[in-house]
């Protein structure tokens, strides 16, 4: 029986058009399956560059691409824009809006939400950086604080407006701290000639003793030196106790007045899969078998940040490369089982990790080797540009970066043009 | 006494960074005056291209530019982001946020708001096209209607979702109708292969008997032929009686089911100047003397859409070129009166008017001559690109247009990435 014949009846439904869902849909579409791809948004987001939108370096549409356009050539992929209300894994049906859809196999790739680790006040008083909307709001907030500071005669209040705290010393926090320091000391210094920029503070707060915990220690130390050289105050082993409307408090008793607290410290799964009757681990992720199927539900696969995948005793990190590879592996298993072949165990290939720290500087591990400085930055640039979906996006981002690089200038600094 | 000396005390305050305010500020800054430029937004908008943002052809940041960056080199221009609460024209003070500022001269360039001519339901149920926020919302609304239509099995409801009505046959209405027809029948037809696009209707409604009333009749007829050739239904002499949540009604008794009604029919001044004790004409505009000063208040100038300027017995239209020239004339008069010279009467030079109707086609009057077709389109393109503020914006817009032209493809079709 051909794959096409076997899959002709009930389609494969994929929930979520992030990295996991998108790459699963591509693989299945090429394999001849009937696919329904559901997302709340009509675009895929290239999340590794979100921090550059929040630093006014890129615009949201440069890191987002309409899902319909990605699958334009593929007649066997149907796109549905909507929120999934209900999944019945036993009856194999799913409700989105007023539609009820049957599925043969289901891939849940619903991603993650921010984890605040129970820090009091953090959900209300910190700014997240998970979606293009978050990034635009963060950019508007920071520019708005500087506009207010420019009109504020009292020094204490002015300094509070110009204190920017970033909680979390992982890749997002490190990258954003560097980009923000460059934005403020470069183009914004020229835009706000009357502000005393020595009053601006960019503070990066990390609970552990090193930055970039996922990297070898040497690269974390390099990032620390670079950030401090750029004027970023880095506070290691600093645990946030609570966040208030105007300040944040540390466990060791100190407090900090700040109008902007950005939260990049953690991610956890959204609550949806638990509602749909699937088992969940402590952090809300769904444990899957080595084949990415949910135990007892061989037609349900979970990939991406929402999946708890243990390999060699340790859980895989919530990163884009893991989601991409798991999405493709789940798609392969669906194509295999459709023709009676057994599902295969997922193997994650760590192709490398990297983070950029401002203009020209980055850290990277590739093929087990660590790189830092300009070489790492060029690698970072090449990999990110080639990964962007759609030739036009690549061209736009490259233009923007070239502009930034040549003129030490950011492209756009509009405060929320949408309202 | 030098201009600089005369103006050193109280600054010139300009309210509004649209065309009138921006060009007044430029002229005054170059003349050595101390200038305070106040706006609610941190960017200037190139409004003639707003309709292209609403048609998913350009992004808001391509037609907007930060005001601070425009005046970066000019130390004598202070930018204030905020809403003006109160103007005291006698005491010559103005309140913005918690700041109270003294002024020597004041230029009000506060622009216009949409006029609904008392049509019932129009303010609540139609979509305006006055700001970048309006344009992004309109784009999201139209893309959202097509997404809903793609899931809608009932034909009547599906057709309602795919009926797009544009009220107003002036330049904005004509340009948007053409751009929308091209968007839907081009890129969206490829994105929505399952939709029957013969069910889509783009309807342009005009109360008078001709399109483009400000142009010679021949060019209005050309626009009518072109739009009809592109599949736009044009209804002339059709007066809208009321707009409801799902439909609109005409005076002659007919009704039309439509999920999207765009209102481009009229503009009127915002209510602010009346609140501040200035005289206003029937449409809310402030009548000014031939020198652009308000009668009895020689230190208060009004320019742009908010000014009622009568020349040779007829009021000047609310158009960008009028605002630009009046802004510069008001600035010149402030510089003249500062050194004891008399203010001069404003003379408007009509350099031409133009409108584009889809790919390659436009109408234009330049130096009294009428042009239509491809030649007019090339003139339109050249003039608009050269008018965009900032070299980077020009480059981006040109790239986007070249892309669109070569590939019959729109750049971006994200449904409101901000929320």
User: What is the spatial distance between Cα B50 and Cα B418, in angstroms, rounded to a whole number?
Assistant: 18
Q: Taking 70 as the threshold, does the pLDDT of residue B159 lie above it?
A: yes
Mean pLDDT lowest for which of B140-144, B188-192, B372-376, B390-394?
A: B390-394
The per-residue pLDDT for B3 is 45
Shortest Cα distance, chain B CAs vs residue A209, angstroms: 35
Cβ pair B50, B132 in contact under 8 A: yes
- Residue A43 with chain B: CB contacts under 8 Å: 414-415, 417
- Report whether pLDDT(A283) > 80: no
Between the two ends of chain A, the Cα-to-Cα distance in Å is 55
**Res. B7 pLDDT band, cuts 50 70 90:** very low
**Range 46-105 of A in CB contact (< 8 A) with B:** 59-61, 64, 66, 68-69, 72, 75, 78-82, 97, 99
- Residue B395, Cα to own-chain centre: how many angstroms? 22
pLDDT, position A271:
63
- Least confident stretch, B157-166, B199-208, B316-325, B355-364: B355-364
How many Å apart are CA A243 and CA A167, to the nearest integer? 11
For residue A2, is pLDDT > 50?
A: no
**Distance to chain A for B309, nearest Cα, Å:** 30
Among A16-20, A80-84, B192-196, the minimum mean pLDDT is found in B192-196
Question: Which residues, at least 6 apart from A293, have a Cβ–Cβ distance to it below 8 Å?
Answer: A299, A300, A301, A333, A343
pLDDT top residue among A279 and B353: A279
Is B43 touching A (CB cutoff 8 A)? yes
Torsion of CA B187, B193, B198, B201, to 10 degrees: -50
Residues 193-222 of B with CB under 8 A from A: 193-194
Mind telling me how many Å the CA of B366 is from chain A's nearest CA? 33
- In DSSP terms, A13 is beta-bridged to A36, A106
Would you state the structure tokens that stand for residue B60, as one six-digit string?
Answer: 């808001």
For residue A127, pLDDT beyond 80: yes
d(CA B132, CA B47): 8
Instruction: Quote the percentage of chain A above a pLDDT of 70.
Output: 89
Residue with tokens 């007023």: A98
Residue B411 has pLDDT above 80, yes or no: no
Q: What is the pLDDT of residues A357-372, one digit of tens each?
A: 877 778 887 777 888 8
Cα first-last separation, chain B: 55
pLDDT given for residue A366 in this prediction:
77
Smallest CA-to-CA distance from A200 within A127, A253, A281, A143 is with A143
Q: Is A43 in contact with B190 (Cβ distance < 8 A)?
A: no
pLDDT band at A390 (very low <50, low <70, confident <90, very high): low
CA-CA distances (angstroms) from residue A98 to B151, B152, B167?
A: 9, 9, 32
A188-217 pLDDT, tens digit per residue, is 888 888 888 888 999 999 999 999 987 788
Q: Could you tell me whether strands B353-356 and A233-235 are parallel, antiparallel, or unpaired per DSSP bridges?
A: unpaired
- pLDDT at residue A180 is higher than 60: yes
- Asked whether the predicted pLDDT for residue B214 surpasses 80, the reply is no
Q: Which of A73, A77, A93 is nearest to A85 (CA)?
A: A93
* A387 membership: H or E segment, kind and range: helix A374-387
Question: Which ranges in B62-170 belong to alpha helices (H)?
Answer: 67-70, 122-125, 132-150, 155-161
CA B391 – CA B385 distance, rounded (Å): 10
Q: Give the model's confidence band at A56: pLDDT under 50 very low, under 70 low, under 90 confident, else very high.
A: confident
Average of pLDDT values for A8-31?
Answer: 92
* Cβ contacts of A137 within 8 Å, gap of 6 or more: A127, A416, B418
Could you tell me how many CB contacts below 8 A there are between chain A and chain B? Answer: 129
- Percent of chain A whose pLDDT exceeds 90: 54
Which ipTM was obtained for this model?
A: 0.79
C-alpha Rg value of chain B to the nearest Å: 22
Phi and psi based region of residue B134 (left: phi greater than 0; alpha: psi -120 to 50; beta: remaining)? alpha
* pLDDT score of B1: 36
CB count in 10 Å sphere of residue B245: 8
Q: Using a CB–CB cutoff of 8 Å, tell me whether A406 touches chain B.
A: no
B chain contacts of residue A133, beta-carbon cutoff 8 Å: 417-419
User: CA of B417: which chain A residue's CA is closest?
Assistant: A133
pLDDT of amino acid B73: 81
Q: Are strands A64-66 and A77-81 parallel, antiparallel or unpaired?
A: unpaired
Distance CA(B85)–CA(B87), nearest Å, equals: 7
CA A109 to chain centre: 14
- Least confident interval from A76-80, A274-278, A336-340: A274-278
The predicted model gives B165-173 an average pLDDT of: 94
**SS3 assignment for B56-70:** CCCCHHHCEEEHHHH
Q: What is the pLDDT of residue A122?
A: 94
Closest partner residue to A191 among B60, B66, B98, by Cβ?
A: B66
Q: Which residues of B touch A131 (CB under 8 A)?
A: 417
Output phi, psi for A334, to 5 deg: -65, -45
Q: Running DSSP on this structure, what letter comes out for residue B44?
A: E
Q: What are the structural domains of chain A? A: 3-40+82-114+267-338 (3.50.50.60), 122-265+352-407 (3.50.50.100)
Instruction: Report which of residues B25 and B415 the model is more confident about.
Output: B25
Choose between A358 and B413: higher pLDDT.
A358
pLDDT for res A27: 94
Contact B43 A97 (CB under 8 A): no
Question: What pLDDT is attached to residue A411?
Answer: 54
Substitution target from A54, A59, A68, A95 for chain B, most B beta carbons within 10 A: A68
Using CA coordinates, name the residue in chain A closest to B395.
A399
pLDDT, position A5: 46
- Strand pairing report for B240-243 and B293-294: unpaired
- Lowest mean pLDDT, pick from A328-337, B1-10, B318-327: B1-10
pLDDT at B396 over 80: no
Whether A34 contacts A11, CB under 8 Å: yes
Q: Determine whether the interchain pair A190/B399 forms a contact, defined as Cβ–Cβ distance below 8 Å.
A: no
Whether B175 is catalytic is yes
CA-CA distance, A341 to A134, in Å (whole number)? 43
Which chain A residue is nearest to residue B100, measuring alpha carbons? Answer: A151
In degrees and rounded to multiples of 5, residue A411 shows phi and psi of: -65, -60
**pLDDT tops 90 at residue A396:** no
Q: How far apart are CA B399 and CA B402, in angstroms?
A: 5
pLDDT attached to residue A327? 96
pLDDT digits (tens, 9 = 90+) for B106-132: 999 999 888 898 899 999 999 999 999
pLDDT at A403 (0 to 100) = 64
Kindly report the nearest CA distance between residue A43 and chain B, in angstroms: 6
- Ranking A316-320, B241-245, B363-367 by mean pLDDT, the lowest is B363-367
> Do B196 and B227 form a contact (C-beta atoms < 8 A)?
no
Strands (DSSP E) found in A338-396: 353-356, 362-366, 369-373
pLDDT attached to residue A197? 83
Kindly report the average pLDDT of chain B as a whole number. 87
Task: Supply the pTM of this predicted model.
Answer: 0.85
pLDDT for res B134 = 93
The alpha carbon of residue A208 is apart from the nearest alpha carbon of chain B, in Å, by: 33
**Does the structure show a pLDDT above 70 at A266?**
yes
Option in B78, B190, B418 nearest A72 (CB): B190
pLDDT digit string, tens, across residues B27-66? 999 999 999 999 999 999 988 889 999 998 888 888 888 8
For chain A, the 3-state helix, strand and coil shares in percent, each to the nearest 5, are 35, 25, 40
Write out the H or E segment, with its range, that includes residue B190: helix B189-191
Measured CA to CA, the distance from residue B269 to residue B280 in angstroms comes to: 9
Q: Which region among A199-208, B221-230, B379-388 has the lowest average model confidence (pLDDT)?
A: B379-388
Say whether pLDDT at B163 is over 60.
yes
Helix, strand, or coil (residue B166) = strand
Please report the pLDDT score of residue A60 as a whole number: 86
Q: How far apart are CA B174 and CA B366, in angstroms?
A: 19
Beta strands in A253-385, from DSSP E residues, in sequence order? 255-257, 260-263, 267-269, 286-287, 293-294, 297-302, 307-308, 310-311, 314-315, 353-356, 362-366, 369-373
**Residues B133 and A417 sit within 8 Å (Cβ to Cβ):** yes
pLDDT at B209 over 80: yes
Q: Taking CB atoms and an 8 Å limit, are B417 and A392 in contact across chains?
A: no
Nearest to B133 among A143, A392, A419 (CB): A419
Q: What is the mean pLDDT of chain A?
A: 87
Q: How confident is the model at residue B366, as a pLDDT?
A: 77
Mean pLDDT value of segment A12-27: 95
């Amino acid at each position: 029986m051909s794959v096409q014949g076997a899959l002709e009846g009930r389609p494969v439904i994929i929930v979520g058009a992030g990295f996991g869902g998108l790459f699963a849909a591509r693989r299945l579409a090429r394999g001849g399956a009937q696919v329904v791809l559901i997302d709340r948004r009509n675009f895929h987001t290239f999340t590794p560059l979100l921090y550059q939108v929040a630093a006014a370096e890129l615009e949201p549409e440069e890191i987002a691409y309409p899902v319909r356009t990605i699958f334009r050539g593929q007649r066997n992929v149907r796109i549905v824009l909507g929120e999934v209300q209900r999944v019945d894994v036993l009856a194999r049906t799913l409700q989105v809006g007023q539609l009820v859809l049957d599925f043969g196999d289901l891939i849940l790739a619903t991603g993650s939400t921010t984890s605040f680790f129970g820090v009091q006040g953090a959900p209300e008083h910190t700014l997240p950086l998970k979606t293009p909307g978050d990034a635009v709001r963060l950019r508007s907030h920071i520019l708005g604080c500087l506009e207010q500071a420019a009109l504020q005669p009292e020094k204490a209040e002015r300094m509070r407006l110009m204190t920017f705290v970033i909680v979390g010393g992982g890749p997002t926090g490190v990258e954003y701290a560097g980009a923000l320091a460059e934005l403020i000391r470069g183009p914004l210094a020229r835009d706000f000639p009357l502000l005393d920029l020595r009053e601006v503070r960019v503070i990066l707060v990390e609970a552990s003793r090193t930055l970039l915990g996922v990297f070898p220690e040497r690269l974390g130390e390099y990032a620390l030196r670079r950030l401090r050289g750029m004027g970023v105050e880095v506070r290691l082993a600093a645990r946030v106790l609570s966040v208030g409307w105007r300040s944040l408090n540390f466990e060791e008793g100190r407090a900090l007045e700040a109008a902007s607290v950005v939260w990049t410290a953690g991610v956890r799964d959204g609550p949806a899969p638990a509602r749909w009757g699937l088992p969940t681990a402590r952090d809300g992720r769904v444990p899957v078998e080595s084949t990415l199927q949910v135990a007892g539900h061989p037609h349900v696969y979970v990939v991406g940040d929402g999946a708890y995948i243990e390999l060699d005793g340790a859980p895989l990190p919530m990163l884009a490369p893991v989601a991409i590879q798991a999405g493709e592996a789940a798609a392969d298993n669906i194509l295999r089982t459709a023709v009676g072949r057994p599902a295969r165990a997922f193997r994650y290939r760590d192709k490398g990790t990297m983070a950029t720290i401002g203009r020209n500087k980055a850290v990277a591990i590739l093929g087990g080797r660590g790189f830092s400085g300009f070489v790492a930055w060029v690698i970072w640039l090449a990999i990110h540009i080639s990964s962007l979906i759609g030739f036009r996006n690549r061209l736009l981002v490259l233009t923007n970066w070239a502009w930034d690089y040549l003129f030490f200038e950011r492209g756009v600094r509009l405060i929320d043009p949408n309202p």
